[in-house]
Copies of this chain bind each other. A is one copy, B any other.
């Protein structure tokens, strides 16, 4: 039995997700946005029966048992924690909240309600090319230990279609290439290798501070470029370059896992490999058409495909259980959970810190909430930096 769904947010991901959910048989019962008008418009566009700007009006609905938190990051923790308390399953957008403190709140809530699903939206874990890559790594396709993972992502501008200044233009509100794309990269490494970063070096930059429509008092502070290196606990080196600052670029991704004797590489949605001095061979070509009718979107095709597969997995988790909102674990056991979300925040935070200190920074996963004074001074420090 599939749960009814409540959606927080009305951005591009929501517009893509809702038809995908419907195709899998889910019913979308309610949509929330910060303003009534925006919520009403989205409800009309997407044919959702109920809209509101009050968080509780979605969370308390009896016909809603699964919540998608796809609103700005400053509300992730508040909504997720409350929803779990009310007994609703959660899929929260990446990265979890604005900071480790946010993510830690979510982790604690998730641990407190282990019978509820609590996932982070990292669709690349469900992309067939990466599933095949993980399988090939497990079967020792490379023949010798992994030495290096080299990732390069190019993307178009990460702001809204409307070109209006919103949270995605703002570093302190969780916008930018590091949060929105880098989080997927960090999580992908966890998924593929099951290994964490010990220390990182990063360089985070905002090259484009104004656009034709954003050129007034407020400048864009969200970074549109980052390059970072991670040393994993098993000695593997990861280097990633994410460039989203060149207007009109199409999305391109290449994830290359190297050993001394071969490599595996995902380009777009396809997987290639080379071993024992041989030529590169095709291991998996993503020729399968998307089953779900997805509107034209600025979202990368690989992301949308991963999303489809993730929704399909959620269907498999809920469908076999007759009890309302009951579920089985296996179909979603490879998804990112809130602990993964906390770790991603820890790495992103270390990368930002490294970019400022110009040094390598050790990754420290938060285990206790900082006291309020510390928190305040951190906010002041960060604001001061973003003003300078």
Contacts and interface: CB of A to CB of B under 8 A. Distances in A.
Interface string A61-99: 000000000000000000000000000000000000000
Given A207-B258, A246-B262, A248-B278, 15 more contacts: A147-B225, A148-B205, A148-B243, A148-B245, A203-B229, A203-B237, A227-B229, A245-B258, A245-B260, A246-B258, A247-B260, A247-B262, A248-B274, A248-B276, A358-B359
Nearest first, the 7 A-B pairs at minimum CB distance are A248-B277, A147-B207, A358-B360, A208-B260, A246-B258, A227-B239, A359-B359
A203 B201 contact: yes
A203 B278 CA distance: 28
User: How often does this chain occur in the complex, in copies?
Assistant: 2
Majority DSSP secondary structure for residues of A touching B: strand
Nearest to A207: B147
Contacts of A249: 263, 274
A261 interface: yes
Interface string A41-62: 0000000000000000000000
A263 to B, nearest CB: 5
Nearest to A144: B208
Contacts of A360: 358-359
A360 B360 CA distance: 10
A220 to B, nearest CB: 11
Nearest to A147: B207
A205 B237 contact: yes
Contacts of A207: 147-148, 258, 260
Interface in A182-234: 201, 203, 205, 207-208, 225, 227, 229
Contacts of A38: none
A147 B241 CA distance: 15
Interface string A349-377: 00000000011100000000000000000
Of A207, A241, A274, which is in contact with the most chain B CB atoms at under 10 Å from its CB? A207
Contacts of A147: 207-208, 225, 245
Given A148-B207, A239-B241, A358-B360, A246 B227 contact: no
Contacts of A152: 152
Given A358-B359, A358-B360, A360-B358, A277 B247 contact: yes
Contact of A201 (B201, B248, B261, B276): B201
Nearest to A199: B358
A225 B258 CA distance: 11
A23 interface: no
Contacts of A262: 246-248
A263 B246 contact: yes
Contacts of A205: 148, 237
Of A249, A260, A262, A358, which is in contact with the most chain B CB atoms at under 10 Å from its CB? A260
B237 A358 contact: no
Interface in A244-262: 245-249, 258-262
A170 interface: no
Nearest to A263: B246
Contacts of A247: 260-262, 277
A360 B207 CA distance: 20
B261 A246 contact: yes
